[in-house]
């Protein structure tokens, strides 16, 4: 997932001019079968990740030559972009975007968000309803970009505008049926998609709560 669709002004240690026409949307990253790509990757850890990615993938893009985001390098991330990333992570309740483990990559001058395996942790123990969708998500205090996120109110408003019911349904339609396994969310993929949609809409409605929490947490850090 690239952050370039939300801001084109972030230029990290990248190469070349901004590619202003590039947009990223879920529709561009449909499920596809990837088999044995990356065999020539030099880093054994990454080569192993790629080898184990054979099969059905969704939203996968191999960013050859990407450089990990290092907070110590102090490459500035614009406040508007940092705020959108914080708002997104608060929405999906991602605990894995910390200073020690930013899960951000610079690639061709743009910031990419990776490794969302720790998001949506609620669905591992989920009754299929909307209880808990309004959690403030206090762990946002650990977010690596929180100090730079000086436009959280705008980011929350934008999140609410962009996350229409249609956008939620579109994203869920991309998820392969076989991945919708939460039994409490109903029998069959359609019921489970509907349960996720209801939960995500309820989460969206809670934006004032989780954005407010992020604003409070930021005030403690800056
Ligand atoms: N799309 C990608 N393109 C290139 N390298 C990647 C990509 N995704 C991950 N990596 C590399 O693999 C490392 C670990 O990836 P990550 O998804 O964070 O796995 P882990 O579960 O081990 O944290 C990243 O820090 C990065 O160097
Ligand atoms: Mg990771």
Q: How far apart are CA 112 and CA 49, in angstroms?
A: 17
For residues 61-79, give the mean pLDDT.
93
CB-CB contact of 211 with 152 (8 Å):
yes
Per-domain boundaries in the chain? 76-104+117-219
Q: How far is the CA of 183 from the centre of ligand 1 (A)?
A: 30
Q: Tens digits of per-residue pLDDT, 83-111? A: 999 999 999 999 999 999 999 999 999 99
Q: How many CB atoms lie within 10 A of CB 44?
A: 8
The DSSP letter of residue 133 is T
Strand partners, 200: none
Nearest to 91 by CA among 198, 222, 216, 211: 211
Ligand 1 atom nearest to CA at 60: 1
Nearest to 102 by CA among 62, 75, 65: 75
pTM listed for this prediction? 0.86
Q: How far is the CA of 60 from the centre of ligand 2 (A)?
A: 14
Q: How far apart are CA 110 and CA 89, in angstroms?
A: 18
């Amino acid at each position: 997932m690239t952050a370039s669709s939300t801001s084109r002004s972030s230029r990290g240690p990248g190469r070349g001019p901004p590619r202003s026409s590039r947009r990223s949307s879920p529709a561009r990253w449909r499920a596809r079968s990837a088999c044995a790509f990356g065999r020539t990757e030099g880093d054994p850890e990454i080569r192993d990740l790629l080898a184990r990615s054979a099969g059905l993938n969704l939203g996968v893009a191999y960013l050859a030559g990407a450089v990990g985001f290092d907070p110590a390098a102090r490459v500035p991330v614009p406040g508007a972009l940092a705020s959108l990333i914080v708002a997104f992570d608060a929405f999906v309740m991602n605990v894995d975007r910390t200073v020690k483990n930013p899960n951000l990559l610079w690639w061709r001058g743009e910031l990419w968000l990776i490794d969302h395996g720790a998001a949506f942790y609620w669905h591992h123990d989920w009754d299929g309803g909307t209880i808990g969708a309004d959690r403030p998500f206090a762990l946002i205090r650990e977010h690596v970009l929180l100090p730079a996120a000086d436009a959280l109110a705008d980011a929350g408003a934008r999140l609410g505008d962009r996350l229409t019911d249609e956008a939620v349904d579109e994203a869920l339609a991309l998820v392969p049926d076989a991945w919708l396994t939460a039994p409490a969310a109903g029998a069959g993929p359609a019921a489970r998609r509907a349960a996720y949609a209801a939960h995500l809409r309820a989460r969206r409605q809670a934006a004032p709560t989780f954005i407010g929490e992020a604003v409070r947490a930021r005030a403690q850090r800056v």
